[in-house]
Amino acid sequence: MNILVCITHVPDTTTKIKFVDGKELDKNGVQFVIGPYDDYALARAVELKESLGAKVTVLNVGKQETEPTIRKALAIGADEAIRIDAEPSDAIFVAHQIAHIAKQNSYDLILMGRESSDYNGGLVHGMVGEMLGWPSVSPCMKLDLEGTNAKMQKEIEGGKELLEATLPLVAGCQEPIAEWKIPNMRGIMSARTKPLNVVEAISVEGAISYNSFDLPPERSSCKFFEVDQVDDLVNALKEEAKVL
């Protein structure tokens, strides 16, 4: 079985986000990691490799700066990597790159996070599925294979659905599909020599453009009430905030 895992290279979840002149992310002091949802996808792929036997290829659309993140995915257990040498400017752009690679290979399963934690489009899995004519499911909380039959659990508002589809398919993953894996020393050593192929991007039309960024407005300072002043709080919610 061949599994493709698509990963993003994003700021660590604890990062305080700042921008340079409102135009681009201030990368100063920011630690970049594998996208937290992608990490679940990768962990599930490695679990499937361990239980059923599979070759796991990891793919990232990014410039050279993402290679330490890709090496980390190799250390976690992917067998080889592809880096598409371009900025991941938009979901349509990224989806076309992935579909292009998928058409040249014979993957049974394409896994990725439900969304990236930087641009949060949540689109790439569905787009790749559509481009390849494969089923796609997201957010996928559980994925079990029996031959070419996949049983999945999808989160919906207030509950979950149990779904079934036939491989090949695309899934956008989230917890608790697998436990995050931490690379061990052997993994880190072997990752250095695993193949990492750099591929040129194909050109794509229809991408959206990012003009500027801003931060949520700061809240004015918190107004405190004593424990026996709950009536005053309720009154403030009603008369001042007008939310009751």
Partner 1 sequence: MSVLVFIETNEGEIKSSSLEAVCYAKSINENVVAIMAGEASSKELDILGKYGVTKVFYNESEALANDSQGLAEFIFSGVEKEGADLIIIARSSLADSIAPKLAIKAKASIATNVVDLPSSQSPLTVKRGVFTGKAFATVSLPEGRKVLTLAKNAVGLKESPSSCSSEKLGFSEVASPKVKRLSVEKATGSILLPEADKVVSAGRGLKGPENWEMIEELANTLGAATACSKPVSDMEWRPHHEHVGQTGIKVSPSLYIAIGISGAIQHLAGVNSSKTIVVINKDAEAPFFKSADYGIVGDAFEVVPKLTEAIKRVV
- Per CB under 8 A, does 146 bind partner 1? no
The DSSP output letter for 177 is S
- Per CB under 8 A, does 226 bind partner 1? yes
The residue from 1, 30, 131, 145 that contacts partner 1 (CB under 8 A) is 131
Per-residue tokens: 12? 């660590």
Compute the CA torsion angle 160, 164, 166, 169 (nearest 10 deg).
-10
Compute the CA torsion angle 99, 105, 107, 111 (nearest 10 deg).
-40
- Per CB under 8 A, does 214 bind partner 1? yes
- Per CB under 8 A, does 190 bind partner 1? no
As measured in angstroms, the least distance from the Cβ of 87 to partner 1 is: 15
- Per CB under 8 A, does 33 bind partner 1? no
- Per CB under 8 A, does 117 bind partner 1? yes
Q: Going by DSSP bridges, is the β-strand pair 9-11/32-34 parallel, antiparallel, or unpaired?
A: antiparallel
- Positions in 53-92 near partner 1 (CB under 8 A): 91-92
- Per CB under 8 A, does 6 bind partner 1? no
Indicate the SS3 state at residue 55: strand
- Per CB under 8 A, does 241 bind partner 1? yes
Contact region for partner 1 (CB under 8 A) — 51-59, 70-78, 191-199, 207-215?
207-215
- Integer CA distances (angstroms), 148 to 5, 140, 144, 145, 151, in order: 18, 17, 10, 7, 10
- CB-nearer residue toward partner 1: 53 or 217: 217
Q: What are phi and psi of 129, to 5 degrees?
A: -60, -45
What span, in angstroms and rounded, lies between the C-alpha atoms of 158 and 78? 34
- CB-nearer residue toward partner 1: 192 or 238: 238
Q: Tell me the site size for partner 1, rule CB under 8 A.
A: 82
- CB-nearer residue toward partner 1: 84 or 91: 91
- Per CB under 8 A, does 52 bind partner 1? no
Q: Which residues contact 104 (CB under 8 A, 6 or more apart)?
A: none
- What is the DSSP track for 9-31? EEE-TT----EETTTEE--TTPP
- Per CB under 8 A, does 44 bind partner 1? no
- Positions in 163-182 near partner 1 (CB under 8 A): 163-166, 174-176
As measured in angstroms, the least distance from the Cβ of 213 to partner 1 is: 5
Helix 36-52 with 67-76: angle, nearest 10 deg: 30
The residue from 3, 136, 178, 196 that contacts partner 1 (CB under 8 A) is 136
- Per CB under 8 A, does 198 bind partner 1? no
- CB-nearer residue toward partner 1: 193 or 212: 212
